[in-house]
Chain A
């Protein structure tokens, strides 16, 4: 079945760039997503990328997609302490309806 893998932890200093990586197995994915979950909160949709795009930029966020390698990354420029959270990569299930999530990457930003 479909699978989404992420590294579990990333620690950066305030002002540095953060890069969170994700790999997925479903080559028919149309959209791929990044969600953010702050402590005790629900999931916030950060951004998504259409599968025919290589890159999408939205303010401090840059998403890179390598379809050949089934690799997705989220770059956060000028990382702030408020960016500390768990970041989930997500793909659609085989039915193309619900989402399959990676285990989440905990981003820790130190000042």
Chain B
């Protein structure tokens, strides 16, 4: 079945550092890919998405490129802020109309120190 693997956390960085959170996936078809963010005590918020190969999703300074050849969707940001501290989830949706729901990775806890 479908699966998502993302780097283990916690990831601790200083403010203004460059961020990469790795995400790779296994899927039988051509899934849509997502990054969600979860702040403490809150639900999930969609951060960005890409629906086909070579698409780049971007939002709030974060970006990720759908790489079909490496089955990856790594999250990057050039200069992180303390307010970016949260748990980040990579997820995929197959193309069967969503009837299988989203498949999530285990999440990466990001801690940004001032």
Is A bound to B? no
